[in-house]
Copies of this chain bind each other. A is one copy, B any other.
């Protein structure tokens, strides 16, 4: 049985989570966002997502979040879809974010539930459905048990997949089998996208539609090449690229994710600054590891993948 989505969905391909460059006064650096978006789009990415984990949404106040979405939408200028991250412990705050970003012109939202007190399943469901009801946009559900501590059961995902706005799910557990279970039980009503904790080539083989990824900021061309190989089912070639990309992820799993992506982008010449305190920047050794991984990536890139 082929897994097909009856409903068109904008969530597909390689979608980098971009970082949020802020200066010491907390001001979003629009120029840096612009350059990063330009280069990612030139590299062929299929969408851009501000305010993911990598985008340090949790460390920003609402004004900064709103401004970051505004800046990104303007920078991307319709070349690819922009999906904004929406997340809160509170229904009201999440609905506010969703409506606000819709007004700013995003093409979809990626919604997570932050946690404080433990919630029952019906409370979790009410959060996501209430946000989905607040907008006229495609929505992806984002579940990340290690940061948000709210796990979504397959049954809950299956029920939510029946809402007209909920078109995709991005699962950031490390459990790839769970993705296959979601695909099977949702019968194609929602698309599944991988996170950087999964092996994209595997998820694509199982029927995934792409991946949201912080590390894709650092290796957009290789990521797009991998995606194309997967779509064209050229698996041996896909796996060659996959193995290189996985070595990037291994580094990032050892350190603070935002510090890694920001540190790596600094290496590549983007003045994105340090992660937001109390998060510290990478120490010297970690920075060297990230630099080395990036250098290897460029070196190992087939000529056609490199920039002009």
List the interface of chain A (C-beta within 8 A of B): 1, 26, 53, 58-62, 89-93, 113, 116-120, 122-124, 126-127, 130, 147, 149, 173-178, 180-181, 184, 197-199, 201-202, 205-207, 233, 235, 239-240, 242-243, 246-247, 249-250, 256-258, 276-280
Contacts and interface: CB of A to CB of B under 8 A. Distances in A.
B202 A26 contact: no
9 interchain residue pairs of minimum CB distance: A58-B116, A174-B175, A202-B202, A176-B176, A127-B278, A91-B277, A123-B278, A59-B90, A91-B278
Given A277-B91, A278-B91, A206 B239 contact: yes
Given A123-B279, A127-B278, A199 B174 contact: no
Given A180-B243, A180-B246, 11 more contacts: A53-B116, A59-B89, A127-B277, A130-B277, A174-B176, A175-B175, A176-B202, A199-B202, A202-B205, A205-B205, A206-B239
Nearest to A122: B280
A92 B277 contact: yes
18 contacts: A1-B243, A59-B90, A90-B277, A117-B257, A117-B258, A118-B256, A120-B280, A123-B277, A173-B174, A174-B174, A176-B177, A176-B199, A177-B198, A181-B250, A205-B239, A206-B239, A233-B235, A235-B235
A116 B147 contact: yes
A291 B90 CA distance: 27
A1 B198 CA distance: 21
Copies in the complex: 4
A208 to B, nearest CB: 11
Contact of A184 (B62, B90, B207, B243): B243
Contacts of A184: 243, 246-247
Contacts of A206: 199, 201-202, 239
A249 to B, nearest CB: 7
A239 B202 CA distance: 11
A61 B58 contact: no
Contacts of A92: 26, 276-277
B246 A124 contact: no
A197 B176 CA distance: 9
Contact of A278 (B58, B124, B177, B257): B124
Contacts of A119: 256, 278-279
Contacts of A62: 61
